[in-house]
Structure 1
């Protein structure tokens, strides 16, 4: 096949394949869009069906629900609400886009003038908007009804909880309870044996290889965690400075070790459930809850050990005496282990459906064990303080707060024990578990608060060191310090708000779900005009703005320090180009941040309107100076390093051209801030703009009878003897004419490499002129004062003149 035929054939085939591919993409996109609409409709139907079933179950008051069933209802309702909110988030931009496309078509025109294609598009868009509007309304209605159902479930749980708490039963010390337990003990033993047999049968099909590998994996996880912990300690001890931040990081690392090892081992071992068969749903729920309880108990144990640090006083964050820390070193591990054991016994009674006496006994043992541990810990602490003559933490406020906390805990333990003795076991459990929960919240908040403070202090120390080493100027040191303090303050405020929210957490409520419901406004947002502002989206926009600003700053530094020095641009132009790129980048980062915050490009009209009003009234001068700064960077009538003069008051070197003003350093080392508009609207003298050479001039007045050629030769010799004076252009001398007092004015002109050398070199040339005149015995005009002093034998005499005319010795320009 000839070449001229082959290439067109290949080209046609490529175009055909490309068109088919694009057509396939278009068809696929249309199919995906229609499929997405159908999926949304199916999800809405499923969510509505799920919601109706739960509402019907809750409306049937004849069916008594257990607390676990109500928790399941709540979880399902939360899923329905989340699904409805997701559909709302998905449909809203589609609905807005369809409305925007319909608005582009405009109002319907006359039937005779409007084309058929426009009619079809209008009809399709109206149908799409109608469908999306209906789905949007249904999704929002489902979300509202789900929220109402969740409130109803919470009300029923509170009512059940109040009934249980106010119910009086048998105390664990009552003989009748032990008699009932003795009667029901054979049945409970048989139930335990049956449950154990089911577990063995469920795990029997699991191959021993799987069990072996899971056991090895758990062992490797535990040993690896311990090895990482020791490496972490060595790193902090050898590589970090001995500050409070190191102690905070050690505390966080110790808590992570306590939580990660047992939780990870259990997850690895219990992954054998994937191979088990025949486990009941109750047992599966119990196993998952058991892992969560182990993680919580490990967190409590790690938190206590990290804060007490009985064997490492230098690692201890709170100001506790060593005797108290050592006296309470048993508390964290004992409390964590007791929680695991007693909770396991309590939940096993529900799994095996044991007798009522066994349930009451396990509840009583749980309350008794927790009260005993907390009570003994408080008693030992108070005994030490009484022995030492009182509590002193170095601060009157902290000491008083600690003393009040100890007394309140003691009172709570006493009330819990009394409630347990008289038979109110549920109330006793409520009191002591609330004490432990509040203690965990307070101690966790304290640890995280210390961590935030220590991180901020460490960053401030680094910034201060960089400023001391002249790596940062005063402005950079200030804004970095302010940014660190603002971030630290905001994080601490958020931490305290979360802690306060957890403080008010109702007993038995899931903390995650509780926070989600209380902080729902962060994701739902509020409407401002035609724009929906969401705090979460606003925070995301702030993150995008900060990241974008850092990226632009890095780009500017890369251009100024790495790329532009290898171009033909001079230093001032490189600085201007990098600054101009930074302006464009910051504007782009701001626009992207607004879009990320939920304010799209099509919704910025109100921002532009507000800015226009602000510019018209108060920001006109600022915008004028900013635009003038852009013109200075683009046209470059002045640049960094130029010698400029503005009027009669401002003269000096341009040091920096900012967005609003330009910094000029005067020759007395003072700095003048000049608005950029001054360089655009007024006359500016730029000494170093086009010609980099400097010109010096010296004028002398000589007597009328002087030898003009000798004067000319002396002046030229004085200029040529200076090394800074250029040979090209060469120095020259002119006769300016007769003076009114009868003298002749001679002017010497010479050129220098830079105008900045004129002042100093003119003085040197003047000295040389005077020396040559003295050697040539040339006297100045009698109206000028010059004393030619030489050796006595030379016969040179002094020529006195009046001091009033001394100012006419030299004229320079």
Structure 2
């Protein structure tokens, strides 16, 4: 029996193993994906509940936020499920494409191919079903989230536009005074009640040494901390250069926030150790560090934006006396924000009651409050709103009254931004208190306090940007105020990072920012192509790597491979440029493919845009194509001596759009490539550097022409750059108007020395002609006077001179002077020009 049992167990295990190995092959394809993906039955229940709540729109904000978070989790699952079976789907599509296009209507294909196409199409539909279901569920979840966000935004807007009882009505003032007195009395009652307990007095005696130590250390840090940091910053700054001093000073100055805040935290700890504070007192103590952070940060920020020392570079250009006013205003804003924090903690919200005004961050709070309590809250907050408005008004004027640059000079972007911020601050400073007096206290709070915080964030960005500039200049050892690209990019990144903070300050919910980030991650559609950060990052990385490899290959070809070939310099440059174009095109194509961007859907859009772009960029395209032709045909190469458009020089570089020519006076001429392809170009050194030189010479009439020919031939043959084959030639070109004309025609071994050879031959010709007594004539002209008797006639026969302008001599009326080359200028035929016919 034991042996039989062992055999049965082994058979069972063998069958189980076989079934396990064959199960994936035996099960249908749908079974493989049945358990994958979200639970759509549970989602249906949640979706119906959410749609019902949205349609009713009666749930509280907290309930809507909780429901929204749940829908967001479902949407995340649907996003991940959209890529289910992605690799297998791509494989099946490739298999179907390999079978060729399906037959048209009325045509048939082979039975085996038709069966295979049907089977693959069925499998593809089964694999695409989970992804399509996820896409549909994602769209539904996304719509529900949008509806919830709309409801919450509408409620927030209603709360901000809520009209409270006007605080300007004296009838509301007694209630506000009672509320302030009640808050203070409540804290005092808690202290007295706890002090009357024996356990509290015993704990106070036990903790007395720690309390005293905390209090002493807290007072020292709060009173002396800022001065210690200033001394430390001054000593450390002496060890560095100017840019280093500024960077170190900014970094060390953060201790002016840290040390006083640490002292305030110790003070709060000491007060809590007494055990005398109750619920309301603990709430007040809990918000003291936040209030202190506003105050200490404002004092520090004012000192950095409006520095005392002249050596410090201020983010805003102001006169020293105006900087002192700026430091005062910023410090007062911090004090008002600190007071507002304590007021909203200890006075405004009654126990168990919330109210419908904007809090410090501009976010509306849903409320249940009676008329009297709301009126008291409006009266209590009105003084803070008015003081905040006055501070903002003064600060806005300060920003607008900055020193301006020279007239006609463009204003820097930072100054223009400061002017716009100053104008906006003035508008808020006037509008906020007016709204509060009318009764729109929530709207006033939503304007005044976010404006203050926004000014602080903008100032902080400027301070950090200055710190980055100084640190970069110190690390890179830059001299003076040199500008660099890296700090500009860092400043741009800081500005982008400040946008979400500003959005939160002005009432945006964290869910709104998370929604924006989610949509950014999912990408956006552009002509049917979905572009996501991942795709863009992949494209950038792959293209950068491809571009780098292309440059490395170009460098290797230019320095190692091509110099060992028989290609000339122009051919090497053409090969290197061609490799660069092909490499960049291949890198872009590979990057697009790696990023998963399908450009087929953009073909129609690209075709439509190409017509308009073609008209606008036809010159650029023409020059680009001409540059390719120049690199392929190589009618000119780098180093050639060419003449084009009246300009003559050496080709230094052939780029995609143009060619750079260096003239003989060392100036660069940029010639469009289209002019080199379509125009007439003279290439003096194409193929080789040999070239012909023609020297023209004239001698006086009566000179022995054979002697002149012999002398010129000797001079040409004697020059070392004149080639022997073909030999130099001297030609008697004809009888000129002033001379007998000759030409020396020689072939030079290096045409680049054409001008020097021409000059040297002229020197030798002048020397030989002088030695041989041969005259080089100059141009001669004869001057003939027509009617000379008019100039030499008697004075009485001369007609009265015509009146002449003042200061000029009078001229005879009938006198003319003719300049003529004709010997028979008088026309009498005797050729003497005297007019007597003899």
In the alignment, what sits opposite 1:271?
Answer: none
Give the alignment partner of residue 659 of structure 1, picking from 637, 656, 661.
656
Label 1:184 to 1:299 Cα distance change in 2 as closer, same or farther (>3 A): closer
TM-score, structure 1 length as denominator? Answer: 0.56
CA contact (8 A) 1:641 1:653 kept: yes
Superposed CA deviations along residues 592-645 of structure 1, whole A, max 9, x for unmatched, are 776799852444533663476569877667545433321211332211231235
In the alignment, what sits opposite 2:177?
Answer: 173
Label 1:153 to 1:404 Cα distance change in 2 as closer, same or farther (>3 A): closer
Label 1:127 to 1:456 Cα distance change in 2 as closer, same or farther (>3 A): same
Q: 2:102 matched to 1:107?
A: yes
Superposed CA deviations along residues 64-96 of structure 1, whole A, max 9, x for unmatched, are 74x545444444444444554565588999978
Label 1:358 to 1:436 Cα distance change in 2 as closer, same or farther (>3 A): same
In the alignment, what sits opposite 2:690?
Answer: 693
Alignment map for 1:314-353 (pairs within 5 Å): 315=314, 317=316, 319=318, 321-322=322-323, 324-325=325-326, 327-328=328-329, 330-331=331-332, 334-335=335-336, 338=339
Give the alignment partner of residue 449 of structure 2, picking from 427, 436, 461.
436
In the alignment, what sits opposite 2:771?
Answer: 775
Post-superposition offset of 1:49: 6.0
1:691 match: secondary structure: coil
Post-superposition offset of 1:692: 1.6
Label 1:501 to 1:432 Cα distance change in 2 as closer, same or farther (>3 A): closer
Label 1:679 to 1:251 Cα distance change in 2 as closer, same or farther (>3 A): same
2:687 match: secondary structure: coil
Alignment map for 1:40-189 (pairs within 5 Å): 41-42=37-38, 51=47, 65=60, 67-85=61-79, 87=81, 102=96, 105=99, 106-107=101-102, 110=109, 112-114=111-113, 116-154=115-153, 171=175, 173-174=177-178, 178=182
Post-superposition offset of 1:233: 8.6
2:241 match: secondary structure: helix
Alignment map for 1:274-313 (pairs within 5 Å): 303=301, 306-307=304-305, 309=307
1:659 match: secondary structure: coil
In the alignment, what sits opposite 1:606?
Answer: 604
Alignment map for 1:367-386 (pairs within 5 Å): none
CA distance in structure 2 between the aligned counterparts of 1:752 and 1:786, rounded to whole angstroms = 29
CA distance in structure 1 between the aligned counterparts of 2:332 and 2:695, rounded to whole angstroms = 95
2:642 match: secondary structure: strand
Structure number having the greater helix percentage: 1
Superposed CA deviations along residues 557-614 of structure 1, whole A, max 9, x for unmatched, are 9679977997666654555445444434554566577679985244453366347656
CA distance in structure 1 between the aligned counterparts of 2:96 and 2:631, rounded to whole angstroms = 44
Label 1:179 to 1:334 Cα distance change in 2 as closer, same or farther (>3 A): closer
Alignment map for 1:582-621 (pairs within 5 Å): 582-588=580-586, 591=589, 599-606=597-604, 609-610=607-608, 613=611
Label 1:378 to 1:605 Cα distance change in 2 as closer, same or farther (>3 A): closer
Alignment map for 1:520-531 (pairs within 5 Å): 530-531=528-529
CA distance in structure 1 between the aligned counterparts of 2:582 and 2:286, rounded to whole angstroms = 54
Post-superposition offset of 1:688: 0.7
Give the alignment partner of residue 238 of structure 1, picking from 241, 244, 250.
241
CA contact (8 A) 2:709 2:731 kept: no
CA contact (8 A) 1:643 1:652 kept: yes
Label 1:88 to 1:367 Cα distance change in 2 as closer, same or farther (>3 A): farther
CA distance in structure 1 between the aligned counterparts of 2:42 and 2:428, rounded to whole angstroms = 51
CA contact (8 A) 1:645 1:651 kept: yes
Post-superposition offset of 1:758: 1.8
Post-superposition offset of 1:766: 3.2
CA distance in structure 1 between the aligned counterparts of 2:369 and 2:120, rounded to whole angstroms = 72
TM-score, structure 2 length as denominator? Answer: 0.55
Post-superposition offset of 1:690: 1.9
Q: 2:638 matched to 1:640?
A: yes
CA distance in structure 2 between the aligned counterparts of 1:57 and 1:754, rounded to whole angstroms = 93
In the alignment, what sits opposite 1:763?
Answer: 759
Label 1:785 to 1:174 Cα distance change in 2 as closer, same or farther (>3 A): closer
CA distance in structure 1 between the aligned counterparts of 2:513 and 2:544, rounded to whole angstroms = 28
Where does the alignment leave 5 or more consecutive residues of structure 2 unmatched?
Answer: 1-22, 167-171, 201-224, 266-283, 355-366, 405-418, 473-477, 780-820, 823-838
Label 1:339 to 1:593 Cα distance change in 2 as closer, same or farther (>3 A): farther
Post-superposition offset of 1:772: 2.9
Label 1:161 to 1:438 Cα distance change in 2 as closer, same or farther (>3 A): closer
Post-superposition offset of 1:755: 0.7
CA contact (8 A) 1:255 1:306 kept: no
CA distance in structure 1 between the aligned counterparts of 2:528 and 2:569, rounded to whole angstroms = 48
CA distance in structure 2 between the aligned counterparts of 1:592 and 1:292, rounded to whole angstroms = 53
Label 1:631 to 1:752 Cα distance change in 2 as closer, same or farther (>3 A): same
CA contact (8 A) 1:102 1:125 kept: no
Superposed CA deviations along residues 35-59 of structure 1, whole A, max 9, x for unmatched, are 9967861276776665556567778
CA contact (8 A) 2:693 2:758 kept: yes
2:111 match: secondary structure: coil
CA contact (8 A) 2:291 2:337 kept: no
CA contact (8 A) 2:333 2:391 kept: no
Q: How many residues align?
A: 658
CA contact (8 A) 2:160 2:446 kept: no
CA distance in structure 2 between the aligned counterparts of 1:691 and 1:77, rounded to whole angstroms = 78
CA distance in structure 2 between the aligned counterparts of 1:539 and 1:236, rounded to whole angstroms = 45
User: C-alpha root-mean-square deviation of aligned residues, in Å?
Assistant: 7.3
Post-superposition offset of 1:653: 3.9
Alignment map for 1:492-503 (pairs within 5 Å): none
CA contact (8 A) 1:695 1:755 kept: yes
CA contact (8 A) 1:644 1:685 kept: yes
CA contact (8 A) 2:299 2:331 kept: no
In the alignment, what sits opposite 2:625?
Answer: 627
Alignment map for 1:551-570 (pairs within 5 Å): none
CA distance in structure 1 between the aligned counterparts of 2:352 and 2:471, rounded to whole angstroms = 51
